[in-house]
Amino acid sequence: MIATRLGGYDLKSPLVASCGTVGSVVDFAGVGDLTAYGAAVAKSVSGTPWAGRKPPRMGSTGAGMLNGIGIQNPGVVRWAADVGPQLESVPTDVWGSAVGKNAAEFAEVAAKLSGTTVRAIEVNLSCPNLESGRMFALDAKAAAEVVAEVRQSTELPIGAKLTPNSEDIVSIADAVATAGADWVVLGNTVWGAGFDIETRRPLLSGVVGGYSGSPIKPIALRCVWEVSQALPGLAIIGSGGVTSGSDVVEFLLAGASAVGVGTVHFASPRIGGRIITQLRRYMSKHRIADIAELVGAAEPW
């Protein structure tokens, strides 16, 4: 059985299509294989439209990918009107993702997303939008304030998306769980940069952006491990560098109950079905009837 439970939320599959890598989800549904996923997260939206950063906003680094999109989005009102009515056509649960410049904006977005058929809300605390330019997820108090306001604004389950860039991810996870998050997503991209040696220009207009893909898997696994060891009751989605069934197993062993699939979609939009086939093969080889047997099942030395 590959169905899993995330806090009180039942997922038919442990795969969650990661925010920002499957567009509005509706557009991705035409090219991807969303039947393999328990849920798919639509691109983060804010209270007002955000233009995002100037190009170039994506860069290939040889291993992994850099992006500095800056959460370009049409604002939640427009999103709910244009994308909202199409969500029913998507063959899996769709979750919304809220961003904002302050707790009130996050709460407003969450309330408006709740007026559509999204089944849960990710609170994207890991983009640099504090007035100071820092991320909410780097500050336990600021992160908890956002989650507490979002909790007041919606009945839907809430996932808090944290950053691997934080110094002490356990204390941030603890703060957002206490403030009302039903699960945490660990994590988001890792700060990175790259340069074109011919033009001598940075790969991204904003120079520093988010690094994602296979090379960040050990960093995400470390975050999952630290939080699952310190806060054993807290449900976790592992996110970072997943491309195969064995990657999924690693995240489950570290303590995640579900796993994000992100950057790999740009090269292989139909990867989800293959990952599930590999996961099932591993389970049958090791006589595992239920993936719950794998969650947090890493053996000590």
Ligand X SMILES: Cc1cc2nc3c(=O)[nH]c(=O)nc-3n(C[C@H](O)[C@H](O)[C@H](O)COP(=O)(O)O)c2cc1C
Catalytic residue numbers, as ranges: 127
| 3-class secondary structure per residue, 73-111 | ECCHHHHHHHCHHHHHHCCCEEEEEECCCCHHHHHHHHH
Q: Under the criterion CB under 6 A, does residue 165 sit at the interface with ligand X?
A: no
- Nearest-angstrom CA–CA distance, 105 and 256: 29
Instruction: Tell whether residue 163 is a contact of ligand X (CB under 6 A).
Output: no
For ligand X, the binding residue among 83, 242, 271, 291 (CB under 6 A) is 242
Nearest to ligand X of 4, 163 (CB atom): 163
262 binds ligand X (CB under 6 A): yes
Amino acid at the residue 156: L
Give min distance, CB of 232 to ligand X, in A.
23
All residues at 6 or more sequence positions from 144 whose CB lies less than 8 Å from its CB, including other chains: 175, 176, 178, 179
175 binds ligand X (CB under 6 A): no
Q: Which stretch binds ligand X (CB under 6 A): 48-56, 86-94, 139-147, 209-217?
A: 209-217
The set of residues, in sequence order, having a beta carbon less than 8 Å from that of 102 and lying 6+ positions away, is: 131
Q: Which is nearer to ligand X, 128 or 288 (CB)?
A: 128
The structure tokens 């904003």 sit at 206
Residue selected from 11, 16, 20, 166 as contacting ligand X according to rule CB under 6 A: 20
Provide, rounded to whole angstroms, the least separation between the CB of residue 126 and ligand X.
6
Q: Is 194 in the site for ligand X (CB under 6 A)?
A: no
Residue 212 binds to ligand X (criterion: CB under 6 A): yes
- 129 touches ligand X (CB under 6 A): no
- Distance of alpha carbon 287 from its chain centroid, rounded? 30
Q: Is 189 in the site for ligand X (CB under 6 A)?
A: yes
**Gap between the Cα atoms of 113 and 115, Å rounded:** 5
- For 105-144, b/e burial (b = at least 16 CB within 10 A) is bbbbbbbbbbebebebbbbbbbbbbbeeeebbbbbbebbb
Strand partners, 202: 195
Q: Establish if 161 lies at the interface with ligand X (CB under 6 A).
A: yes
Task: Answer whether 92's CB lies under 8 Å from 40's CB.
Answer: yes
Stretch that binds ligand X, among 101-109, 113-121, 138-146, 257-265 (CB under 6 A): 257-265
- Which residue of 13, 166, 228, 239 would you call a contact of ligand X, by CB under 6 A? 239
- In the complex, which residues of this chain contact ligand X (CB under 6 A)? 18-21, 43-44, 65, 67, 69, 71, 97, 124, 161, 188-189, 212-213, 216, 239-242, 260-263
